[in-house]
């Protein structure tokens, strides 16, 4: 019988990262992973950490998460999981749903690129016209926009967590790919590990 309060998830990691987790008993963000974050995207990751602190009970302050997939299960025959020829692992695990923050992968790109997340072409055009008149330029290099634009951008990003809302606008934004963030994964929560060589 399936437990509705548990989630089956998959995370892609390098073989070396997984070997360290096996020794320590915990897969979690570390200083090695920190060096791999592109500085351009760091503000987006910082924003997600703030959301985790607000939305996930007892999430520690200022800690980057482990990223994983809720749907679909990562297909190891595809490229893009890791740099080509890197030895990696797909780790399957089961955790309580109240430990994770679920978000839409496609919509997340609005945060990554510092865009207003519109739900329709009409809303997008309206935003573009208003921001252009005000001289607001997109992108992290132009952050901080003045009020009320900053507040509107930040509020729009929260839509990545609203699956019901995004499903109503699936022709414009959102998709089938659902990602999660979680503080850590204990090795005893892992149910399967598949080794692969990245394509």
Q: What are phi and psi of 97, to 5 degrees?
A: -65, -25
pTM of the model: 0.92
- C-alpha dist (Å) from residue 123 to 50, 103, 165, 177: 26, 21, 15, 23
What lies within 8 Å, CB to CB, of 170 at 6+ separation is none
pLDDT tens-place string over residues 39-86: 888 999 999 999 999 999 999 999 999 999 999 999 999 999 999 999
Please answer whether residues 131 and 67 qualify as being in contact, where contact means their C-beta atoms are separated by less than 8 angstroms: no
Q: And the tokens for 182?
A: 């979680």
Is the pLDDT score of 33 beyond 80?
no
Q: And the tokens for 164?
A: 């019901």
Please answer whether residues 174 and 166 qualify as being in contact, where contact means their C-beta atoms are separated by less than 8 angstroms: yes
61 sits in the region (left: phi over 0; alpha: psi -120 to 50; else beta) called beta
What lies within 8 Å, CB to CB, of 49 at 6+ separation is 62, 63, 64, 65
Portion of the chain with pLDDT greater than 90, in percent: 81
Is the pLDDT score of 136 beyond 90?
no
**What mean pLDDT do residues 178-188 have?**
97
């Amino acid at each position: 019988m399936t437990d509705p309060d548990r989630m089956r998830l998959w995370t892609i990691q390098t073989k070396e990262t997984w070997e360290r987790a096996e020794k320590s008993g915990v897969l979690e963000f570390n200083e090695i992973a920190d060096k791999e974050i592109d500085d351009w995207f760091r503000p987006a990751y910082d924003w997600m950490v703030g959301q985790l602190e607000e939305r996930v009970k007892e999430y520690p302050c200022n800690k980057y998460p482990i990223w994983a997939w809720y749907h679909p299960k990562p297909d190891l025959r595809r490229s893009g999981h890791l740099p080509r020829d890197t030895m990696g692992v797909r780790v399957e695990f089961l955790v309580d749903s109240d430990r994770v923050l679920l978000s839409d992968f496609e919509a997340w790109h609005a945060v990554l690129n510092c865009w207003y997340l519109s739900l329709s072409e009409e809303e997008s055009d309206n935003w573009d016209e208003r921001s252009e008149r005000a001289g607001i330029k997109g992108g992290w290099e132009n952050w901080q926009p003045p009020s009320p634009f900053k507040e509107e951008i930040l509020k729009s990003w929260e839509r990545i967590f609203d699956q019901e809302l995004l499903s109503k606008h699936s022709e414009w934004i959102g998709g089938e790919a659902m990602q999660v963030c979680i503080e850590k994964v204990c090795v005893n929560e892992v149910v399967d590990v598949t080794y692969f060589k990245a394509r």
